[in-house]
A and B are shown apart, each in its own frame.
Chain A
Amino acid sequence: MNVITRGVKNSLRSPMRSGAIILMLAISIGLILSMLVARSSVESKINDVKATTGTSITINPAGVQGFAGGGNPLTSAQVATISSTTHIVSATTTLSDQMGASDTNLTPSLTLGSFGARQQRFESSSSTETAPNNSATVSRPAPTPRIAVTGTTNPNSYATNGGSLTITNGATINGSSSDLVALVGSSLATKNNLTTGSTFTAYGKTITVSGIYSTGNTFQDSGVIMPLATVQTLTGQAGDASSVIAKVDSSENVDATVSNLKTELGSDKVDITSEAQQAASSVSSLTAISGLALAGVIGATIAGAVIVLLAMVMIVRERRREIGVIKAIGGTTRKVVGQFVTEALTLTIIGAIIGLSFGVVASGPMTNSLVSSQAASNSAGAQLGGAGPVFRRGLNQLNTNLTKVQSSLTPQVFVASIGITLLIAIIGSAVPAWFISRIRPAEVLRTE
Chain B
Amino acid sequence: MLSVKNLTKSFQSPSGTVKALAGINMDVETGQFVSIIGKSGSGKSTLLSMLGALDIPTSGNIEVDDQDIAKLSSGKQTAYRAHKIGFVFQQYNLIPNLSALENVMLALEFGGVKSSERKSRARQLLADVGIDESQQARKPSRLSGGQQQRVSIARALANNPAIILADEPTGNLDSETGQKIFDLLHNLSRSKNTTIIAVTHDLDIAGKTDRTFRLKDGKLTTI
Contact = CB atoms under 8 A, between A and B. Distances in A.
A1 B106 contact: yes
A442 interface: yes
A440 B55 contact: yes
Interface in B11-64: 45-46, 49, 52, 54-55
Interface stretch (B88-96, B130-138, B189-197): B88-96
A114 interface: no
Interface in B154-174: 155-156, 159, 167
B78 A326 contact: no
Contact of B79 (A321, A326, A330): A330
Contacts of B123: none
Interface in A328-366: 328-333, 335
B17 to A, nearest CB: 17
Interface size class of B (residues with CB under 8 A): 20 to 34
Contacts of A6: 98, 106
Contacts of B98: 1, 6
A446 B79 contact: no
B115 interface: yes
A2 B52 contact: no
Interface string B67-100: 0000000010011011100010111010111100
A445 interface: yes
A327 interface: yes
A2 B102 CA distance: 10
B36 to A, nearest CB: 16
A13 B115 contact: no
Interface string A427-441: 000000000000011
B54 A10 contact: no
B54 A441 contact: yes
A441 B110 CA distance: 15
B82 A445 contact: no
Interface in B95-116: 95-98, 102, 105-107, 109-111, 115
A441 B159 CA distance: 19
A120 B24 CA distance: 116
B51 to A, nearest CB: 11
A325 interface: yes
Contacts of A326: 95, 106
A14 to B, nearest CB: 9
Contact of B97 (A10, A331, A332, A441): A10
A333 B55 CA distance: 15
Given A329-B106, A448-B89, A322 B95 contact: yes
Contacts of A325: 89, 93, 95
B55 A330 contact: no
A9 interface: yes
Given A2-B115, A329-B106, A332-B75, A442 B49 contact: yes
A446 to B, nearest CB: 6
B115 A329 contact: no
Nearest to B94: A325
A399 to B, nearest CB: 61
A327 B110 CA distance: 10
Contact of A440 (B54, B87, B102, B107): B54
Contact of A445 (B54, B75, B97, B109): B54
A322 B96 contact: yes
Contacts of A441: 54
Given A1-B106, A441-B54, A442-B54, A330 B81 contact: yes
Contacts of A2: 109, 115
Given A2-B115, A10-B97, A329 B82 contact: yes
A278 B52 CA distance: 77
A331 B110 contact: yes
Contacts of B91: 448
A329 B89 contact: no
A87 B97 CA distance: 72
B137 to A, nearest CB: 13
A123 B85 CA distance: 112
Nearest to B111: A330
Count chain B CB atoms within 10 A of each CB in A332, A440, A445 and give the residue with the most: A445
B184 to A, nearest CB: 19
A440 B46 CA distance: 13
A448 B172 CA distance: 12
Contacts of A322: 95-96
Contacts of B97: 9-10, 13
21 contacts: A322-B95, A322-B96, A325-B89, A326-B95, A328-B52, A328-B81, A328-B87, A329-B155, A330-B110, A331-B78, A331-B106, A332-B78, A332-B110, A440-B54, A441-B54, A442-B55, A445-B49, A446-B46, A448-B45, A448-B90, A448-B91
Given A330-B81, A448-B90, 17 more contacts: A1-B102, A1-B105, A1-B106, A2-B109, A2-B115, A9-B97, A13-B97, A322-B96, A327-B78, A328-B87, A329-B81, A329-B106, A330-B159, A331-B82, A332-B78, A440-B54, A442-B55
Q: Which 10 A-B pairs have the closest CB atoms?
A: A330-B82, A330-B110, A442-B55, A442-B54, A442-B49, A325-B93, A330-B81, A441-B54, A13-B97, A329-B107
Interface of A: 1-2, 6, 9-10, 13, 321-322, 325-333, 335, 440-442, 445-446, 448
